[in-house]
Amino acid sequence: MSVSTAMVSERATASVATSQSQRGSVSVNSLTKMFGPVKAVDDVSLSIEPGEFVALLGPSGSGKSTLLMMIAGFEVSSSGDIMLDGVRINDVPSYRRGFGMVFQSYALFPHMTIAENIAYPLRRRGLSGGDVEREVTKALKLVALDGYGTRLPSQLSGGQQQRVALARALVFRPPLLLMDEPLGALDRKLRQQLQMEIKLIHKEVGSTIIFVTHDQEEALSMADRVAVLERGRLQQCGTPRELYEQPATAFVADFIGEMNFLPVELRQAGGEICARSADLSLEVVQEASQVLTSGDRGLLAVRPEYIGLTPDERATATVLESAYTGTNQSVLVQVGCIRLTARTSVSPGRPLFQSGQRVRIEIDAAHTRVFPAAR
Amino acid sequence: MPHRRDTSGWVRLVPVLLLLPVVILFSVGYVVPLAQLVLKSLRHDGAWSLNSYIEIANSPAFLWIVLRTIALAATVTIVCLLIAYPLAYAISKCPPRPAAFLLVIVTLPYLTSVLIRTYAWIVLLSPNGPINQLLLHLGLISEPLQMVFNSIGVYIGMVQIQLPLMVFPLYAVLARVNPSLAKAAQSLGSPPTDAFLRVTLPASMPGVISGCTLVFLSSLGFYITPELLGGPDSYLIAQGISLRVLILGNFDEAAAQSSILMLTVIAVFLVFRQRIAEELDDRPHNNIPLAGKSTSGLSARWPILERLTAVLHGPSMRLHEALTVVGRPALYVSAGLTLLLLVLPFVVVIPLAFSDAPYLTFPPPGYSLRWFSSLLKNTQWLDALSFSLRWAGLSALLSVAIGVPAAFALVRYRFSARVPVYLLLISPLIVPHVVIAVSLFFALAGSSLIGNPLAFALSYTIIGAPYTVVVMIAGLKRFNRTLELAAASLGSSPLVTLRTVTLPLLLPTLASAALFAFIVGFDDVVFGLFLSGPTATPLPMRMWDNIRLEISPQIAVIAVLFLIVLALLMLLRLFVSAVVQSRRPQESLHH
Ligand SMILES: Nc1ncnc2c1ncn2[C@@H]1O[C@H](COP(=O)(O)OP(=O)(O)OP(=O)(O)O)[C@@H](O)[C@H]1O
Ligand SMILES: [Mg+2]
C-alpha cells in the first residue's frame, strides 16, 4: 500500500514537469465526504476531459466547496477515488498535486509584492533569477496588470487582486485550475468583465478548469459543462443547453432558468407514461422512464416561453399580473388553483395582456418534462 | 474500502510533539512542586496529619487575615469595575486612532513593574507628598493625612495597579458589542441611557465577569503592594505565608496556608473555566442569556412588576432623558479621572529621577543627573541589572520557544486534552506567585539550585510562558488560514509554508509574546525573595531592598530607564509590523 502510494506521488509530481498537452483529465469516482453524520458530498462521480471548463453549480451548502477542496487535497475524502490522468491521487498531499487554485478571498500574501506573489510558486519549483522575472512579467501581461509588480496587494482594487490571484495560480502552468467562487466578492459589472477575461485566458492557456459558483447565469455563460449539485448529490452534468432543455431532475429543472410545475396524475400505458392535469384538461404522453409508475402523482415542468396565451372571453384562465420587459411580456395566469408564468413575445401592434383578462392556455407538449412528485 | 490518509497516525502525534516541551517543563517546575506543597501541608513529624490545618483553624489571627484579604480583594474589584467601566466604554466609542492611543496609556502602567508603581504611590501618598501638599494648599485639611503604611495606601495602590486588568476585558467586549444594537434600540424608542441599560450593559456582562474574576483572583495573592504600602496591622495572606517561610521558618503552616490560597483560587478558576476556555475558540461572546422566557417568547415578569413599569413609564422616560443630558459629560469626566489615576505614578517618578537632592523629596528642589551617575557607579546595581537582563531575556526566548508550538497545537488541532492543557498553561496567570515561589523554594531546598540563576530561568519561564501562549493564540486565531492553503496549492510543503508565509506574518505577534514574557520575568520580586543568593540577585531585589531600607530617587532613575526601553521596544514592535505590512517596493524580486 505504502509502496504504491509512493509511486503514485512520484508520478503525480513527475507529471507536473512534463509537457502541458493532453494533461489535466480529472475524474472522481463515487466520492463521498462525511462531516460527522452530515454527507457534504454524497457518492459523486464525474469525469472531466483535458482542457474542459466545468462549473460546479448548486445552492449554498450543496457541497461544491467540499468537492473542490477534496480535489485540491485540502479535505480528505471519506470514500471514493480522485484520479488525475488515470492516476489515483487521493493520497498525494495538496502541495504535490500541482493544481492552481483561486480563492474567493484572493488569498494574496499581504507581506509580498505582486511580483513576489506571482514568483512564489516558481521559486517553490526551483526557478530563480531571470527565469522568474520573465515568467512573472508574462503572467502580469496575461492578466493585463503589467507594471503593477512592485505594488503590495493592499494597494490594488478587488478586481485587480483577483486577477493577480489568477496570474499566480496560472504562472506555473498547472494542468488543472480550481476556482472557488472567484468572483463572489466583486460587483456585477466587474464580475461580467472578469468572466470574459477568464474565458479568454482559458482559451489561451488551455488548462482544465473547475469553477465553483452559485450563480447559474455565470455557470451557463462560462462553462463547457455544468455539474449541478444538491445536498451533496450530483443531479446532472451536461452542457448548458442540455441542462436547460433536458433537465434530468425536477431540482435541475427548477434551479436552471424559470420553470412552471403543474401537478399531474400519471398513468402507465405500455412503454409510455401519460400525465393528465385536470385543471388544464391537458394530457401529455412521454416515454416512461424507470422512476415513473402509474398512479403516482407527478409534476409537469414547462418553461414560460412554451406556454401560449390567446385572449378568449369564454376561457377559465385569468391574467393576474403582467410585466413588460421590452421584447417580452411575462404574464402570471391563474387557472383553477394553479398559477403559471408565461412569456410571450411582444409584436408591434398587438395589445399587451391586462390583469383580469381571460385567456386560453396552450402548452407545447413537446417541450414539457414529467417528474415524480415526491421530491 | 475506506481511504484514509495513511499518515493519520502521525498527524495525531503532531500536537503531542508540539506540546511536549511545555508540558514537561510545567510538570517538573510547576505541577510537581505544587503537588509536593499540598502533600507537605498534610504531613507532620513524618506522618500524615491535618495538624497544620487544625492549628490554622484555631488561630483567630489567621481568620482575620483571611477576612481582611477577601475584603480587600472584593473592594478593589468593585472599585476597579466602577471606575474602569466608563473608561472602557469611552474608549470603545472612540475612533480607532484615539482608541489605540488611550489603550497604550492603559497598557503602559500595566507593563511597568508593580514595584515602580508602588514606589510612586509611597511618594504620592506620604505625609509631605504631593497629594497632602495639594490638599493642604487648598485648605481642605489642616494637617497631613496618614495615607501610607496603613490600609488606605494599600487600597489606593491596589486599585491603580489592578485597573488595567479590568479595563482590557471590558474594552474587548464593549468594542465587540455591535454599535448598531444600541442604535436599533434607540430607533425602537429607547432613550440612549435606557438603550445602554437594556442592550449594551447586558451584552458586556462577559467582560464584567472576566475582569472581576481576574482582578479578584490576582488581588487574593498580592504581595508587593500590601507589603510596601501597608502597615504591620494590615497583613494579608501572601505576607503571612512569606513571613512564615522567610522569617519564622514555620514551613508546615506556610505549606497549609499556601495550599488553602492556591486551592481557593483554582476552585474559582475552574468555576469560570467555561468562559475562560471560550477564549480558545471563536464562539460568540455577547450572547445574552435569555432567562425566564415564557411561551410567548417575551421574558416572563411578575404581573405586579409589569404594572409598576407601566405606571412608572412616563417619569422613567423623563429621567432617562435627563440622564442623557448629563450622561455624556459625566462619562467623559469619569473616564478622564480614571486615566489620570493610571498615569499619576509617572507624573512623580519622572521628575524625581532628575532630582538633585541627596534624599527623597517631592517636588525636587532642583534638577540634575546625579542619580543617573550614581547608578552607573554602583556595581551592585549594574550587576543586578545585567543579571536580570540576561536571565529574563533567556527565559523570554525559552517561553517563546515552548509557548509558540503549544499555541499552534491548541489552536490548530482538536484532541481530548485540549481544554485541560490550555487551562494548565494559563493557570500561572492566576495562581499567586507567592505560592509558586514557596513551592519551588521547598522543592529546591537543600539542592544547590537556590541562589542559582537556573532557578530564576525556570521560574521566569513558568510565569512568562502563559503570556506567550495567550498572545500567540490570539494571533493565530486572527490569522487567515486561506493563505496557508494558497501556499500549499502553489507547491509549498507545510514547513516551507511556515517559513515563508505563517511566521513572517506572525512576526509582530511573536515580538509581543517575547516582550510580555521578558517583562514578567524582569519585573519579578516574589521569586527573587525566595530564590536569591549572593551570586544571583536580580534588579527588582535591589530595588526592593532600597525601597524598604532607605527609599531614594535611585528607583525613579531605574523607572525612567525602564520606560525609555519600553518605549523603544514598542516603537520597534510598531516598526516590525510596519515592515511586515509594507516592504519597500524596490526589493520586489530580489531577496
Ligand atoms: N468543516 C466542516 N465541518 C462540518 N461540516 C461542514 C464543514 N465544511 C462544510 N460542512 C458542511 O458540508 C455541507 C457542504 O458545505 P460546502 O461548504 O461544501 O457548501 P457550498 O456548496 O460550498 O456552499 P456555499 O455556496 O455556501 O459556499 C454544508 O452542509 C456544510 O455545513
Ligand atoms: Mg463554498
Q: Are residues A66 and A173 in the same domain?
A: yes
**B1 chain-A contacts, CB cut-off 8 A:** 79
Give the nearest partner residue to A124 out of B3, B480, B491, using CB atoms. Answer: B491
Q: What is the DSSP letter of A289?
A: P
On whether both A144 and A13 belong to a single domain, the answer is yes
Complete domains list, chain B, with CATH: 12-30+368-585 (1.10.3720.10)
Answer yes or no: is pLDDT of B276 > 90: no
Query: Which amino acid is present at A226?
Result: V
User: Do A116 and A55 reside in the same domain of the chain?
Assistant: yes
Is the confidence at residue B322, as pLDDT, over 90? no
pLDDT at position B6, please? 41
State which of A250, A269, A299 marks the end of a domain. Answer: A250
Q: SS3 letters for B259-288?
A: HHHHHHHHHHHHHCHHHHHHCCCCCCCCCC
Tell whether A208 and A265 lie within a shared domain. Answer: no
Quick check: B505 and A110 CB within 8 A? yes
What is the distance between the alpha carbons of residues A268 and A263, in angstroms, rounded to a whole number? Answer: 16
Same domain for A219 and A308: no
Nearest ligand to the CA of A59 is 1
Starting from the edge strand earliest in sequence, which strands make up the sheet with A338-345, in order?
A307-311, A358-363, A317-324, A328-335, A338-345
Would you state the pLDDT for residue B212? 92
Query: Could you say which of A203, A222, A250 is where a domain stops?
Result: A250
Q: Among A250, A277, A312, where does a domain finish?
A: A250
Q: Are residues A179 and A319 in the same domain?
A: no
Answer whether B11 touches A (CB < 8 Å).
Answer: no
* 3-class secondary-structure state, position B293: strand
Q: Is B4 helix (H, G, I), strand (E, B) or coil?
A: coil
Give yes or no for a contact between A231 and A32, defined as CB atoms under 8 angstroms apart. Answer: no
Work out the pLDDT band at B186, boundaries 50, 70, 90: low
> What is the DSSP annotation of A78-130?
SEEEEEETTEE-TTS-HHHH--EEE-TT----TTS-HHHHHHHHHHHTT--HH
Q: Are residues A10 and A103 in the same domain?
A: yes
User: B460, B392 in Cβ contact below 8 A?
Assistant: yes
Summarize pLDDT for B95-151 with one digit per residue, the tens.
888 888 888 889 888 888 889 999 999 999 988 888 888 888 888 888 888 888 888
Q: Which atom of ligand 1 is nearest to the CA of A75?
A: 1
Least Cα separation, residue A269 to chain B (angstroms): 43
CB pair distance less than 8 Å for A111 and B490:
no
Instruction: Residue A125: list chain B partners with CB under 8 A.
Output: 491
For B408-434, how does the pLDDT look when each residue is reduced to its tens digit (9 = 90+)? 999 999 888 899 999 999 999 889 999
Share of chain B above pLDDT 90, in %: 38
Instruction: Name which of A81, A124, A132 is nearest B492 (Cβ-Cβ).
Output: A124
* Whether residue A38 has its Cβ less than 6 Å from ligand 1: yes
Residues B190 and B192: their CA atoms lie apart, in Å, by 6
The answer to whether the complex's ipTM is over 0.90 is no
Instruction: Give the residue-averaged pLDDT of B336-349.
Output: 91
Q: Kindly state the average pLDDT of the residues B361-375.
A: 88
Residue A47 has pLDDT above 80, yes or no: yes
Tell whether B486 lies on the interface with A, counting CB pairs under 8 A: yes
pLDDT at A7 over 50: no
Statement to judge: residues A275 and A238 lie in one domain: no
How many CA atoms lie less than 13 Å away from A247 in the CB half-sphere? 23
Measured in Å, residue A164 CA sits from the centre of ligand 2 at: 21
Task: Report the domain count for chain A.
Answer: 2
Q: How far apart are CA B96 and CA B581, in angstroms?
A: 18
Query: For residues B588 and A115, is the Cβ–Cβ distance under 8 A?
Result: yes
> Which candidate from A1, A125, A150 shows the least CB-CB separation from B491?
A125
Counts for chain A of helices (H) and strands (E), in that order: 10, 20
Q: Do A84 and A117 belong to one domain?
A: yes
Q: Please give the residue range of the domain that contains residue A165.
A: 3-250
Output the CA B405–ligand 1 centroid distance in Å.
29
Please tell me the predicted confidence (pLDDT) of residue A295: 65
- Domain containing residue A86: CATH number: 3.40.50.300
**Is the same domain home to A178 and A68?**
yes
Query: Omega into B329 within 30° of 0, i.e. cis?
Result: no
Is there a contact between B5 and A76 if contact means CB atoms under 8 Å apart? yes
My answer on whether A192 and A246 are in the same domain is yes
How would DSSP label each residue in B428-472? GGTS-HHHHHHHHHHHHTTSTTTT-HHHHHHHHHHHHHHHHHHHH
Across the range B434-445, mean pLDDT stands at 92
CB contact set of B355 (below 8 Å; sequence gap of 6+): B361, B364, B365, B366, B367, B368, B370, B371, B553, B556
**Cell 483567630, residue located:** B60
pLDDT digits (tens, 9 = 90+) for B213-268: 889 988 998 999 999 988 877 788 888 888 888 888 888 888 999 999 999 999 98
Q: Which chain B residues touch A76 with a CB distance below 8 Å?
A: 3-5
Place of cell 533569477: A129
CATH number, domain of A350, equals: 2.40.50.140
Same domain for A315 and A361, yes or no, is yes
The C-alpha atoms of residue A1 and residue A6 are separated, in whole angstroms, by: 9
Model pLDDT, residue B290: 39
pLDDT at B293 > cutoff 60: no
